[in-house]
Structure 1
């Protein structure tokens, strides 16, 4: 309760506690529900050891430094075993993002931080090449690296020094919502 928070932090005024909570909500650290008593939910903090809350962005961020919890459109809570490394995040896919991989509009793409040394040929990465970030297939050759765009219609980018790539992370999973007419064989085995 607000009174308990005040007691814990030595604040006598419940109004002051409420103002502090609102400031934290404005910064994106918590969410307040005025319709409920004690309606406070901490964002980005894992309260269950088996799950993790990851931020979800409407589009790929320009770079890793600009990613903040207050820029996330929501948080998705998933099993920790599926989330991978710390610092991962979701991006809500647009229709043109990854059509070659069967990713549809509204799917959630999980991107995990990765160093360039950890990349293997064929990895799907989120990277910034030029003006805006996009998804690429990463491959190496004797002269450096090749980033093949997965959105289609663009030519591969040859990079002599792979260290110069502005890497946002490696795509490790796609969460696809199955609503609609997907043919399924329901014959028991």
Structure 2
């Protein structure tokens, strides 16, 4: 059965809450987590989800929402799990192969929609190097990049430098006719280059930290 956007949001919230806490949320926690106007609104949508077979409710307990049914499993596979193409490493060398939609890259990272938000035009890169450690991006971390039409000063971006033919992950700043690519590590100096020499490949929107670092 078709779900409204609000019902999808509530179903996804209940599922993610259970994954994190190993228990269902209360109606009030759903209200606060999604910024809804009242618990009555939450109850209205929960009853609709129950009628459609996505959840069961036990009105006698505060955490009485249970996700059930094949319809939900299909919804989980189609709506919550997101495949983001993994396109290699961000480092000096050849341009990062950003997917253009004509070729299906392999492999993919499978993530929850709650962790990535809008997955349109996303691709993933693994960081090699430590020039952005003070921005909490370290060697081995995964960055989710988004192709965007406009870049603002201070955005962290993947940049292709046409001359000398290198790719790098830095913070972006326009300074007149020049662009400053600023590292987040005092051991590295900023890169200054003409704007015409810069090709933006994507903006960092999510960082997935790697707790175990590669040995130096």
Normalised-by-shorter TM-score class: 0.5 to 0.7
1:109–1:171 CA contact under 8 A, matched in 2: yes
2:87–2:98 CA contact under 8 A, matched in 1: no
Q: Does 1:169 align with 2:202?
A: yes
Structure 1 CA distance, aligned partners of 2:147 and 2:116?
14
Q: Deviations over 1:59-90 (max 9, x none)?
A: 037155666534x4442322156243512111
* 1:158 pairs with one of 173, 193, 196: 193
Structure 1 CA distance, aligned partners of 2:96 and 2:136?
25
2:80–2:113 CA contact under 8 A, matched in 1: yes
Q: Does 1:92 align with 2:122?
A: no
1:63–1:166 CA contact under 8 A, matched in 2: no
Name the counterpart of 2:159: 127
Q: Does 1:138 align with 2:168?
A: no
1:53–1:75 CA contact under 8 A, matched in 2: yes
* TM-score between the two structures when normalised by the length of structure 1: 0.55
1:85–1:113 CA contact under 8 A, matched in 2: no
Q: 1:142 to 1:166 in 2, by over 3 A?
A: closer
Q: 1:141 to 1:174 in 2, by over 3 A?
A: same
Which structure has the highest helix share of the two? 2
Q: 1:149 to 1:104 in 2, by over 3 A?
A: closer
2:78 aligned counterpart, secondary structure: coil
Q: 1:77 to 1:59 in 2, by over 3 A?
A: same
Structure 2 CA distance, aligned partners of 1:179 and 1:155?
28
Unaligned runs of at least 5 residues, structure 2? 1-75
* TM-score between the two structures when normalised by the length of structure 2: 0.49
Unaligned runs of at least 5 residues, structure 1? 1-45, 181-189
Q: 1:97 to 1:109 in 2, by over 3 A?
A: farther
1:55–1:90 CA contact under 8 A, matched in 2: yes
